[in-house]
Structure 1
Amino acid sequence: MSLPSCDVIAFGETMAMMVAETEGSLASVMRFHKRIAGADSNVAIGLARLGLDVSWVSRVGQDSLGQFIIDALAAEGIDVSRVQVDPRYPTGFQFKSRRDDGGDPEVEYFRRGSAASHMAPNDLPDDLIASARHLHCTGIPPALGASVHDLTRHAMATMRARGGSISFDPNLRPGLWPDTDTMRRAINALAFDADWVLPGLAEGEILTGETTAEGIAAFYLEQGVKEVVIKLGPEGAWYQSATEAFMVPGVRVDRVIDTVGAGDGFATGYISARLDGESPRACLQRANQIGALAVQTRGDMEGLPTRTELERALAAHRPV
């Protein structure tokens, strides 16, 4: 078997995002700034900024928004050679309001029937999976449609057979599923195939019925998951494996500007540290730090640091 030629493969839907330049309802705002958005590609960008070799798999429409997305991801140093331009379907996009009080912004999605929702297993061939050390997955792609769900199952099963590592962030989007029970069954079936599962506390409660971080972690460990990390928001994170369990406090933030993308920053920190060979405690410290940096910057991924910026923030670490 040949040695991996890249560090991480990630896949999913990147959307164009129109961000309001002023506060107010989306109906009243007249000026917007064009950016990109997508939980899966946020993590890909974060990992690339930290110096990892990342391959991104997706589809976009044959339109200006699709080209904008490809150019933006390539500018981050991500390999976009496996992004397909599909002339049959449009690129998904969203509108996002501006909040200057640190609250959650209003978001409207226009993604139904998008090019990315038609991805299928052959978009991620076995040889590409074999070329990577690690596969990162979330619960968003399988919610987009049956063929993307099949792609997710195929990618995880193939990477597991190849012996690479797999991370899974549930990233629940109930509005994309027909009902909660369907979502719970599908997400858990995928999570059981991962090595590292990264739910938020509220997500874990929905998925497992457990109300504590310890209970949620135990649920997944009993199904063969190796490491479970529960995101606890500003309080920090809980780590549990078969041999140890502990909490690492969060990072003090003077002002929260934009909460969207904090979980993706956390995943970036944990995955990158894990691939760097750091201890579990150090992995959580990095994850908490990048999550804290993410909420102090406007935009879904604009606050994700370079390696130098991360080292500077860790040196000035301020626990809650």
Structure 2
Amino acid sequence: MSEFLSHSHPRVALIGECMIELQQHANGTLKQSFGGDTLNTAVYLSRLLGSAAQVDYVTALGDDSFSDAMCAIWAEEGIGLSRVQRLPGRLPGLYCIQTDAQGERRFLYWRNEAAVRECFTTPAADPILAALPEYDVLYFSGITLAVLGEVGRARLLSTLGDARDRGARVVFDNNYRPRLWRSVDQARQAYRAVMHEVDLALLTEEDEQALFDYADSEAIMSAYRDMGVSEVVIKRGAQSCLVRADNRRYEVPAHPVHNVIDTTAAGDSFSAGYLARRLRGGSPQEAAEAGHRLASLVIQHPGALIPRSVMPA
């Protein structure tokens, strides 16, 4: 099985949005923190890789106290801030998590004026876009595609091509959120446009079925093979995940969890566990096991980010 990268100490850039997170408790009180799909993955990736990699986050924030707090937390987690824009007068987006008795969650969003929507359209974005092809791994999600808008998506697509020409690996997590798109057709067009630049696709099965109407896992695997994606992982919640890499297929069972508290960031943490193990030279099976292991811990705690003290060794 070929390695994901052929050298040590990779430079990884994750592109996306972090928002103000409010967790609503049963008594109606709210706990404030921060979260977002690619940011969750960045935090877990930084924790897992430590000094073995450089993990940078690429986004746009405001010049407010919430944005200051985000940057301080990311720095504590070892995440590089050199690609974070601070836009005067702007604010981050906000979302609220409401969790039911089974641990399933409902999200309410306030993000239309979020600073990240100008991430790749400001003059300050030019040197950031120029620097991205120097990274070894670029990571983004379907939510990234949605919040960047048409101009931002076009500039990202061009950057992905330049990065792969220089030998970078591109990782995509599908994370489809219908409310972020004008229509299903718009989302489909945006996803398909970037797919020919993707090396590793981390796919939630339900999202793929909602977006593309695939009948089953086999249809998803066939579609991504036809689009030229060399490594595909299908995440199926509490079920086993399916992996195709180097023309081989694997099915890796999930870790059973009997006390699910909150499924927030389950998929994001799986992706971090998988990618971290691949970057350390692990096989796809080992990577999937690592992804399941981390996700099983995350869903036993409230919120997107678990305490560092309970991270897997």
Structure 2-normalised TM-score?
0.89
Residue 190 (structure 2) aligns with: 186
Structure 2 residue matching 1:80: 3-state secondary structure: coil
Give me the whole-angstrom Cα distance separating, in 2, the residues matched to 1:234 and 1:116.
32
Q: Structure 2: which amino acid aligns with 1:102? A: Q
Residue 174 (structure 2) aligns with: 170
Residue 72 (structure 2) aligns with: 71
Q: Contact 2:133–2:164 at 8 Å: present in 1 too?
A: no
How many pairs align? 300
Residue 117 (structure 1) aligns with: 117
Alpha carbons of structure 1 residues 291 and 69: separation in structure 2 relative to 1, 3 Å: same
Question: Once the two structures are superposed, what CA deviation does each residue of 1:86-129 show, in whole Å capped at 9, x if it has no partner?
Answer: 01422211222344x23323322111021111111635635532
Deviates more, 1:162-171 or 1:122-131: 122-131
Tell me, yes or no, if structure 1 residue 214 matches structure 2 residue 218. yes
Give me the whole-angstrom Cα distance separating, in 2, the residues matched to 1:120 and 1:4.
29
Question: Once the two structures are superposed, what CA deviation does each residue of 1:16-71 show, in whole Å capped at 9, x if it has no partner?
Answer: 11222x215xxxx2x32221010011111011001132011111111111111111
Alpha carbons of structure 1 residues 176 and 60: separation in structure 2 relative to 1, 3 Å: same
Q: Contact 1:57–1:123 at 8 Å: present in 2 too?
A: no
Gaps spanning 5+ residues in structure 1: where? 312-320
Give the superposition deviation at 1:4. 9.2
Tell me, yes or no, if structure 1 residue 158 matches structure 2 residue 156. no
Residue 47 (structure 2) aligns with: 49
Residue 317 (structure 1) aligns with: none
Give the superposition deviation at 1:191. 2.5
Give me the whole-angstrom Cα distance separating, in 2, the residues matched to 1:185 and 1:124.
27
Residue 232 (structure 2) aligns with: 228
Q: Contact 2:202–2:234 at 8 Å: present in 1 too?
A: yes
Q: Contact 1:61–1:87 at 8 Å: present in 2 too?
A: yes
Q: Structure 1: which amino acid aligns with 2:218? A: E
Q: Contact 2:85–2:119 at 8 Å: present in 1 too?
A: no
After the TM superposition, list the runs of 4 or more consecutive aligned residues in structure 1 that deviate by more than 6 angstroms: none
Give me the whole-angstrom Cα distance separating, in 2, the residues matched to 1:74 and 1:275.
22
Question: Once the two structures are superposed, what CA deviation does each residue of 1:257-301 show, in whole Å capped at 9, x if it has no partner?
Answer: 101100001100111111111111111111111111111111112
Residue 318 (structure 1) aligns with: none
Tell me, yes or no, if structure 1 residue 134 matches structure 2 residue 137. yes
**What percent of counterpart residues are identical?**
28
Q: Contact 2:136–2:169 at 8 Å: present in 1 too?
A: yes
Q: Contact 2:273–2:294 at 8 Å: present in 1 too?
A: yes
2:26 to 23, 43, 50: 23
1:248 to 239, 248, 252: 252
CA RMSD of aligned residues (A): 2.1
Question: Once the two structures are superposed, what CA deviation does each residue of 1:184-233 show, in whole Å capped at 9, x if it has no partner?
Answer: 12112223320011111112223443322222112111111101110011
Gaps spanning 5+ residues in structure 2: where? 1-6
Structure 1 residue matching 2:303: 3-state secondary structure: coil
Residue 310 (structure 1) aligns with: 312
Give the superposition deviation at 1:160. 1.2
Alpha carbons of structure 1 residues 204 and 242: separation in structure 2 relative to 1, 3 Å: farther
Q: Contact 1:9–1:54 at 8 Å: present in 2 too?
A: yes
Residue 237 (structure 1) aligns with: 241
Give me the whole-angstrom Cα distance separating, in 1, the residues matched to 2:126 and 2:265.
26
Residue 300 (structure 1) aligns with: 304
Give me the whole-angstrom Cα distance separating, in 2, the residues matched to 1:115 and 1:165.
27
Q: Contact 1:124–1:155 at 8 Å: present in 2 too?
A: no
Deviates more, 1:282-291 or 1:187-196: 187-196
Question: Once the two structures are superposed, what CA deviation does each residue of 1:110-149 show, in whole Å capped at 9, x if it has no partner?
Answer: 1102111111163563553243221111011221122332
Give me the whole-angstrom Cα distance separating, in 2, the residues matched to 1:155 and 1:16.
28
Deviates more, 1:264-273 or 1:211-220: 211-220
Structure 2 residue matching 1:125: 3-state secondary structure: helix
Q: Structure 1: which amino acid aligns with 2:170? A: I
Deviates more, 1:163-172 or 1:188-197: 188-197
